[in-house]
Protein backbone atom coordinates (compact mmCIF):
# COMPACT_ATOMS: atom_id res chain seq x y z
CA UNK A 1 0.00 0.00 0.00
CA UNK A 2 1.41 3.33 -1.05
CA UNK A 3 0.52 6.65 0.46
CA UNK A 4 -1.25 9.22 -1.70
CA UNK A 5 1.30 11.94 -1.08
CA UNK A 6 4.98 11.42 -0.56
CA UNK A 7 6.34 12.24 2.89
CA UNK A 8 9.15 14.77 2.69
CA UNK A 9 12.41 13.51 4.10
CA UNK A 10 13.29 14.75 7.57
CA UNK A 11 16.26 17.06 7.35
CA UNK A 12 17.99 17.80 10.57
CA UNK A 13 18.77 21.48 10.82
CA UNK A 14 21.79 22.57 12.80
CA UNK A 15 20.76 24.05 16.09
CA UNK A 16 21.52 27.69 16.54
CA UNK A 17 23.63 28.42 19.59
CA UNK A 18 21.92 30.52 22.18
CA UNK A 19 23.69 33.84 22.23
CA UNK A 20 23.63 35.81 25.43
CA UNK A 21 23.25 39.55 25.01
CA UNK A 22 26.52 41.42 25.10
CA UNK A 23 27.01 43.17 28.41
CA UNK A 24 26.79 46.92 28.24
CA UNK A 25 29.63 48.86 29.83
CA UNK A 26 27.03 50.23 32.27
CA UNK A 27 23.93 48.52 33.68
CA UNK A 28 20.78 49.60 31.91
CA UNK A 29 19.34 51.53 34.83
CA UNK A 30 22.55 53.50 35.37
CA UNK A 31 23.00 53.95 31.61
CA UNK A 32 19.69 55.81 31.51
CA UNK A 33 20.87 58.19 34.23
CA UNK A 34 24.22 58.95 32.63
CA UNK A 35 24.29 61.50 29.84
CA UNK A 36 25.58 60.15 26.54
CA UNK A 37 26.78 61.88 23.43
CA UNK A 38 24.19 61.86 20.60
CA UNK A 39 26.85 60.99 18.03
CA UNK A 40 28.58 58.29 20.05
CA UNK A 41 26.78 56.11 22.53
CA UNK A 42 29.53 56.64 25.05
CA UNK A 43 29.55 58.19 28.46
CA UNK A 44 30.38 61.88 28.72
CA UNK A 45 33.04 62.46 31.36
CA UNK A 46 32.72 65.48 33.59
CA UNK A 47 35.19 68.22 32.76
CA UNK A 48 37.42 70.33 34.96
CA UNK A 49 35.06 73.28 35.48
CA UNK A 50 32.02 71.16 36.32
CA UNK A 51 34.07 69.19 38.86
CA UNK A 52 35.54 72.41 40.25
CA UNK A 53 32.01 73.84 40.64
CA UNK A 54 30.96 70.73 42.59
CA UNK A 55 34.02 71.07 44.82
CA UNK A 56 33.33 74.79 45.35
CA UNK A 57 29.69 74.11 46.33
CA UNK A 58 30.82 71.40 48.76
CA UNK A 59 33.35 73.81 50.29
CA UNK A 60 30.67 76.51 50.66
CA UNK A 61 28.44 74.05 52.48
CA UNK A 62 31.28 72.90 54.74
CA UNK A 63 32.42 76.44 55.46
CA UNK A 64 28.87 77.53 56.29
CA UNK A 65 28.49 74.62 58.69
CA UNK A 66 31.95 75.35 60.10
CA UNK A 67 31.09 78.98 60.67
CA UNK A 68 27.87 78.01 62.45
CA UNK A 69 29.76 75.52 64.61
CA UNK A 70 32.33 78.21 65.40
CA UNK A 71 29.52 80.57 66.39
CA UNK A 72 28.01 77.91 68.62
CA UNK A 73 31.30 77.25 70.40
CA UNK A 74 32.20 80.95 70.56
CA UNK A 75 35.27 80.66 68.38
CA UNK A 76 34.42 83.27 65.76
CA UNK A 77 37.07 85.59 67.21
CA UNK A 78 39.66 82.86 66.69
CA UNK A 79 39.21 82.75 62.92
CA UNK A 80 42.60 82.84 61.29
CA UNK A 81 43.39 84.84 58.21
CA UNK A 82 44.88 81.82 56.44
CA UNK A 83 41.76 79.66 56.83
CA UNK A 84 38.86 79.97 54.45
CA UNK A 85 36.09 80.12 57.01
CA UNK A 86 37.00 78.59 60.34
CA UNK A 87 40.03 77.74 62.41
CA UNK A 88 41.03 74.09 61.94
CA UNK A 89 43.21 74.20 65.04
CA UNK A 90 40.24 74.21 67.42
CA UNK A 91 38.76 70.95 68.67
CA UNK A 92 35.21 71.58 67.35
CA UNK A 93 36.64 72.38 63.92
CA UNK A 94 38.73 69.19 63.94
CA UNK A 95 35.65 67.19 64.79
CA UNK A 96 33.79 68.97 61.99
CA UNK A 97 36.61 68.22 59.53
CA UNK A 98 36.54 64.52 60.42
CA UNK A 99 32.74 64.51 60.24
CA UNK A 100 32.84 66.08 56.77
CA UNK A 101 35.28 63.42 55.57
CA UNK A 102 33.09 60.65 56.95
CA UNK A 103 29.94 62.12 55.40
CA UNK A 104 31.75 62.61 52.07
CA UNK A 105 32.88 58.97 52.09
CA UNK A 106 29.40 57.77 53.06
CA UNK A 107 27.62 59.82 50.38
CA UNK A 108 30.08 58.79 47.69
CA UNK A 109 29.81 55.16 48.78
CA UNK A 110 26.00 55.20 48.93
CA UNK A 111 25.04 57.48 46.03
CA UNK A 112 28.24 58.33 44.16
CA UNK A 113 27.53 62.01 44.79
CA UNK A 114 28.13 64.72 47.33
CA UNK A 115 25.71 67.68 47.50
CA UNK A 116 27.99 69.68 45.18
CA UNK A 117 28.06 66.86 42.64
CA UNK A 118 24.27 66.54 42.85
CA UNK A 119 23.84 70.23 42.07
CA UNK A 120 26.48 70.09 39.31
CA UNK A 121 24.80 66.98 37.85
CA UNK A 122 27.84 64.75 37.97
CA UNK A 123 28.37 61.34 39.55
CA UNK A 124 31.29 59.14 40.59
CA UNK A 125 30.98 55.68 39.01
CA UNK A 126 33.20 52.62 38.87
CA UNK A 127 35.06 52.05 35.61
CA UNK A 128 33.42 49.33 33.55
CA UNK A 129 30.27 48.83 35.61
CA UNK A 130 28.76 52.28 35.99
CA UNK A 131 27.63 51.60 39.54
CA UNK A 132 28.58 53.91 42.36
CA UNK A 133 31.71 52.95 44.30
CA UNK A 134 31.32 50.89 47.45
CA UNK A 135 32.42 52.25 50.81
CA UNK A 136 35.95 50.86 50.57
CA UNK A 137 36.43 52.42 47.12
CA UNK A 138 34.92 55.68 48.38
CA UNK A 139 37.38 55.63 51.30
CA UNK A 140 40.28 55.00 48.91
CA UNK A 141 39.12 57.81 46.62
CA UNK A 142 38.06 60.47 49.10
CA UNK A 143 40.66 60.10 51.83
CA UNK A 144 43.77 58.29 50.65
CA UNK A 145 43.52 59.16 46.95
CA UNK A 146 42.84 62.85 47.48
CA UNK A 147 45.70 63.06 49.96
CA UNK A 148 48.03 61.58 47.32
CA UNK A 149 46.55 63.90 44.65
CA UNK A 150 47.62 66.92 46.70
CA UNK A 151 51.23 65.83 47.32
CA UNK A 152 52.88 67.03 44.11
CA UNK A 153 51.51 70.59 43.97
CA UNK A 154 47.96 69.34 43.24
CA UNK A 155 49.19 67.52 40.12
CA UNK A 156 46.87 64.61 40.95
CA UNK A 157 43.84 66.90 40.59
CA UNK A 158 45.12 68.48 37.38
CA UNK A 159 45.87 65.08 35.82
CA UNK A 160 42.34 65.01 34.40
CA UNK A 161 43.22 67.81 31.98
CA UNK A 162 45.17 65.42 29.72
CA UNK A 163 43.75 62.02 30.73
CA UNK A 164 41.44 60.51 28.04
CA UNK A 165 38.85 59.52 30.67
CA UNK A 166 39.42 62.73 32.66
CA UNK A 167 40.56 60.73 35.66
CA UNK A 168 42.45 62.29 38.54
CA UNK A 169 44.92 60.29 40.60
CA UNK A 170 42.27 59.60 43.23
CA UNK A 171 39.96 58.31 40.47
CA UNK A 172 42.70 55.99 39.24
CA UNK A 173 43.44 54.73 42.76
CA UNK A 174 39.76 53.89 43.38
CA UNK A 175 39.00 52.72 39.81
CA UNK A 176 36.38 55.40 39.24
CA UNK A 177 35.45 58.10 36.73
CA UNK A 178 33.23 61.15 37.09
CA UNK A 179 30.45 61.38 34.52
CA UNK A 180 27.62 63.77 33.70
CA UNK A 181 24.19 62.61 34.81
Q: Does a structural domain hold residue 5?
A: no
Query: Is residue 95 a contact partner of residue 114, using CB atoms and an 8 Å limit?
Result: no
pLDDT, mean of each 10-residue run, the chain (181 residues): 57 52 48 50 89 94 80 62 50 74 93 96 95 96 94 94 96 97 92
**Confidence (pLDDT) at 117:** 97
Sort 117 into a burial class: Cβ within 10 Å, 0-12 / 13-18 / 19+.
buried
**Confidence (pLDDT) at 45:** 96
Q: Does a structural domain hold residue 159?
A: yes
**Confidence (pLDDT) at 12:** 53
Q: Which domain does 104 fall in, by range?
A: 29-34+41-180
**Confidence (pLDDT) at 30:** 47
Q: Does a structural domain hold residue 1?
A: no
Q: Does a structural domain hold residue 84?
A: yes
How many Å apart are CA 166 and CA 52, to the nearest integer?
Answer: 13
Number of domains present in the structure of the chain: 1
**Confidence (pLDDT) at 37:** 47
Closest CA to 51 of 173, 139, 163: 163
Q: Does a structural domain hold residue 169?
A: yes
Amino acid sequence: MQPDSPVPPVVSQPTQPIVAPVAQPFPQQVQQQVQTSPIQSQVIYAGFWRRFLAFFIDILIVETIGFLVSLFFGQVGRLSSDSIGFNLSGTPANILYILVLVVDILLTGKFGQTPGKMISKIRVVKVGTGSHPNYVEAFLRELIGKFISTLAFLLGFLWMLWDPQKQTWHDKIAGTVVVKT
